[in-house]
Amino acid sequence: MTTGSPWFRDTNEPEPEPIPADPYGVPSPYREPAPAAYPYPEQAAYPEPQQAQQPYQDPAQTYQQPPQTYGQPPQTYGQPAQTYRGPEPEPVYEAPYAPAYDASAEAPRQDAPTPPYEPYEAPEAPRAPRPSRRRPSDDTAVLEAVEALPGTDTGTGTGSVPGSAAEPLPGPGRAERRRAAKGGSRGKSRRGGPTATPGGATGGTPGGAQPAAPLSRVEARRAARAAKDSVGVIASRAVGELFITFGVVMLLFVTYQLWWTNVLAGQETDRAKEQIEDTWANDDGAGDDSKPGAFEPGEGFAIMYIPKLDVVVPVAEGINKAKVLDKGMVGHYAEGSLKTAMPSDKQGNFAVAGHRNTHGEPFRYINRLQPGDPIVVETRTAYYTYEMASILPQTAPSNVSVIEPVPKGSGFTEPGRFITLTTCTPEFTSTYRMIVWGRLVEERPRSQGKPKALVG
């Protein structure tokens, strides 16, 4: 079968649409369809103009079929041949001018046009900072300020590449690290479990275990009870605080006894000495201090001097601890069975007592006295000078024979005018008594001036 015939039509081609008949002999593209009727009466006065008559065509003439193009429908007789043009091609838009060049090359390529501007120069790659050669020391923990290079991100630390984005470091933030460093209860969550960090770590450790599941109400109560201190811990703390308080009180008491009582006793003895001297200055000499009971308990009546020990202390009547001894004065045994003679008596033992430690401690160093050392007692009328004779380092407090008119253990065998000094021993205790005896060697009226022991 011949396929080149213009009358041949392939079966795969679509059926051409028929051209409608033209009743007026005018091609349809140039004719408007006539209305079916005139909707308005005034339109009938203007009939449709008649079309021009077609010129006469001789039927004897032979009709020549115009050449058909493959793919075009067959033409009907009396219709002019139409040429199939096909679809209009889409317009082609040219791309804008873009000079071709290589950024890595120093000059543009030869086949590219010369741009109207200077060629692009790539920036110089930044250099990594040189490592410090200093030896590690204590100040290496301080961060040094490094000037940021162009195109780098100082937030990524050392070794960042220009143009690269800053990647966040894994692990907890600054607040979490501070809580972990402080420790204690801050490192735990409100439910008693470990604190979970944003990075998935537990307890502030990067890369640790996953955060624990929230505790139930019962588990939370158990954890709270377990976190509380036990009765034993509370009791031990109370006992410890009690011991600390007791130690502080004892320290204050010792300070009061060893230092502050001496300060108070010094003030009391100064006032008592001034009072005694004022009494002597205002006395007309009519009084007699040799009679028993001439002075009230606690009343000062004499002044004792121990030149070797640099002691000057008032002597008061009685040995009452609160009224006499604790005020820093020396007390005269003058009550009941312990009553002894006065310095002015022609015969007897003048016995006195005083503190060795605290409250002025007038007899602290009487153990240093040697035989022949003077002890002077000044009264309203005279100076009585005694010489140290013997010492008894230790005896019982109940041994009252040491203050008898002829004291036992002193070495005196006959009655005379003696002096006895008694104090506590060992130091800072009152377990035993120390005794020092002396013999009268001179009685000098005050009108004749001071004795040689005080003048020298």
Catalytic positions = 355, 424, 433
Q: Cβ(316)–Cβ(301) under 8 Å?
A: yes
Strand 330-332 and strand 348-353: the pairing is: antiparallel
DSSP 109-153: -TTSPPPSSPPP-PPPPPPPPPPP-SPP-GGGGSPPP-PPPTT--
Which pair of tokens denotes residue 225?
């009870």
As to burial, measured by CB atoms within 10 angstroms (0-12 exposed, 13-18 middle, 19+ buried), residue 315 is buried
CA distances (Å), origin 119, targets 97, 101, 110, 312, 371: 16, 9, 14, 112, 121
Phi, then psi, of 219 in degrees rounded to 5: -65, -35
DSSP letter at 202?
B
Which pair of tokens denotes residue 264?
């108070």
Reduce the DSSP state of residue 345 to 3 states and report it. Answer: coil
Which helix (DSSP H) or strand (DSSP E) does residue 378 occupy? Answer: strand 374-378
Strand 432-445 and strand 417-425: the pairing is: antiparallel
Cα separation, 378 vs 418, whole angstroms: 15
Cα separation, 418 vs 348, whole angstroms: 6
- Residues facing residue 6 across a β-bridge: none
Strand 311-317 and strand 432-445: the pairing is: unpaired
Cα separation, 433 vs 355, whole angstroms: 11
Cα separation, 186 vs 178, whole angstroms: 10
DSSP H helix total and E strand total for the chain = 5, 8
Amino acid sitting at position 352 = V
